[in-house]
Structure 1
Amino acid sequence: MKIISYNINGIRSASTKNLFGWLQATNADMVCFQELKAQPDQIPEIIALVENLGYHHYWYPAQKKGYSGVAILTKIKPIHVEYGCGEEWIDAEGRIIRADFEDFSLMSVYMPSGSSGEDRQQKKFEFLDFFQPYISNLKTQYPNLIVSGDYNICHTEIDIHNPKSNAKSSGFLPEERAWIDLFIKNGFIDTFRHFNKDPHHYTWWSFRFGARSKNLGWRIDYQMATKEMEDRLKNVRILPDAVHSDHCPVLLELK
């Protein structure tokens, strides 16, 4: 089984760059999208493409048009789909959707960025404070859980191209990195690092200064799986050649 997580930075823009031709070639069973920047009624042609590829599709856009939003596409019909998390401001921003299947659950999550200023950094911390106990409680009900998406946090120094100059940057703050430490300690596996301990693997690059061509990036997109799923992990790859966005996809293969 192949599961892709991809911050597409606007589904309408990404679709003009052959996103769905690429997706067809990957033959992924399930796809978690983040940062849709569109509502379903704005993209009927894209929904038709999704259906032609054989996917059931579930969208959770932000209330604000052109902003945020998450989705799950799946060739296996879920038993249940949970839209949002019950926290009003987070749900208004369209940041969490979960699909439950017979033997595991899959969440697409788009965590806030704090790079635009102190107010958004505080909202990011507010999200993190909420999300840790929320997930801890959720995995008692759904122990086989994959939390895929854009976490907007680099965990360790090998996950960012210049850790020293970014030591005080949002996304690499000590408090954020400690949050990932705790998340993993509370029963999750960073599936990419489970298979690959090497540096210089990134999932996001600035559009400025030719950062992508120089591989000056950040690894901020994850497929975290509960420890209960460890025996099912087969492989994880970052796919930097997919260039529909300033992010690239993370592909998780399950046994």
Structure 2
Amino acid sequence: MSAPPPPSIDSPHLSVSSVNVNGVRAAAGKGLLAWLAETTVDAVCLQETRADDTQLRKALAPALDAGWHLESAEPALKGRNGVAVLTRSQPKAVRVGFGAPEFEDCGRYLEVDLATADGVVTVASLYLPSGEVGTPRQEEKERFMADFEPYLASLADGAAVVCGDWNIAHTESDLKNWKGNRKSSGFLPHEREWMDRVLSPAGGWVDVVRAQHPGVPGPYTWWSYRGRAFDNDAGWRIDYQLATRALADTVAWARVERAAEHALRWSDHAPVTVGYRWAS
């Protein structure tokens, strides 16, 4: 996967990337470590690490030796979930969870505060439940969404970005085969309405990638390993950076780092990378 644009006179001061690694130990062996060695970003949010803290540090050891700082929220269930944030500088504060007891130790939400010249910025890594229609997994997803919405509202007046796998394609432009998925989890009407509220003026959040790429399909961030989904770009855009308006107003560029070819993929997701004109 290609690195973000090289620095220039118009280069942003703070850049953040986010990717669901689909198992950090497997991804590390396929190319994640090489990507971390090449990227110029200031922070990287990881989701679905499927590792406890010891396993995570072992998998990312070369990156940590190179100077990255690691914070993580390991999952209570072995081999499930797990989120982390890698930063160039030591975070000022770290918080696991968002105050909902049911989801406190599930490894789905972690945020760090980064001290910058322009003030403190909160960078969060989110792995929202994927759900499955007609099963307890969908019920869990909807409980998570109900608990998470007021928490997002509590952050909206500050400088924050919530990065991660939101497991919802917000609009028809965010899913190649939207007609065939109208009854699928991730594209259900009430899930999309939830995103509408979060991204409304009252909700206070901005989908910064869509703001930079209006009126186009995608750019997709996830493709099934089955068939030729990746080659045909038959994907879903479910990985987002949602920023508060204070931070969203400073966006310089946003992109999905899609692999040049199927063989170069180290996850079924691609990194979503955004540059902010916010002095780090």
Q: Is the shorter-chain TM-score for this pair beyond 0.5, marking a shared fold? A: yes
- Cα distance in 2 for partners of 1:118, 1:85 equals 24
- Give the one of 114, 123, 126 matched to 1:106: 123
Residue of structure 1 equivalent to 2:182: 167
Matched letter for residue 19 of structure 1:
L
User: Helix, strand or coil: the match of 2:242?
Assistant: strand
Question: Which of 188, 193, 201 in structure 2 is aligned with 1:178?
Answer: 193
For structure 2, the residue ranges without an aligned partner over 5 or more in a row are: 1-13
How far 1:61 sits from its partner (Å)?
1.1
Given residue 132 of structure 2, which amino acid in structure 1 is its aligned partner?
S
Residue 122 (str. 1) matches residue 144 (str. 2): no
Is 1:96 the counterpart of 2:113 in the alignment? no
1:87-121 CA-to-partner distances (Å, cap 9, x unmatched) read: 22212211110001232111101000113752101
Number of aligned residue pairs: 253
Corresponding residue for 1:42? Answer: 55
Aligned: 1:80 with 2:80: no
Is the contact made by 2:182 and 2:188 (CA closer than 8 Å) also made in structure 1?
Answer: yes
TM-score of the aligned structures, taking structure 2 as reference length = 0.87
CA contact (8 A) 1:32 1:148 kept: yes
Q: Take 1:230 and 1:161, find their aligned partners in 2: how far apart are those partners?
A: 26
Provide the rounded CA distance (Å) in 1 between the counterparts of 2:33 and 2:149: 33
- Cα RMSD of the aligned pairs, angstroms, is 1.4
Where 2:142 maps in the other structure, the secondary structure is helix
Q: Match of 1:192?
A: 209
Residue 235 of structure 1: which of 253, 261, 264 is its match? 253
Structure 1 CA distance for aligned equivalents of residues 249 and 155 of structure 2: 21
8 A Cα contact 1:50 1:57, kept in partner = no
- Secondary structure of the equivalent of 2:258? coil
Higher RCO (CA < 8 A, seq sep 6+): 2
**Deviating more after overlay: 46-55 vs 70-79:** 46-55
**Residue deviations 1:49-104, cap 9 Å, x none?**
12123111101110111110100000022110011223222122111100012321
CA–CA distance in structure 2, aligned partners of residues 246 and 47 of structure 1: 19
> Which stretches of structure 1, 4 residues or longer, exceed 4 Å deviation after superposition?
none
| TM-score, normalised by the number of residues in structure 1 | 0.95
Q: Which residue of 1 aligns with 2:231?
A: 213
Give the secondary-structure state (helix, strand or coil) at the position aligned to 2:246: helix
SS at match of 1:205: coil
Q: Who is 2:71 aligned against?
A: 58
Q: In the alignment, which of 4, 21, 26 is matched to residue 39 of structure 2?
A: 26
Give distance in 2, aligned partners of 1:166 and 1:139: 31
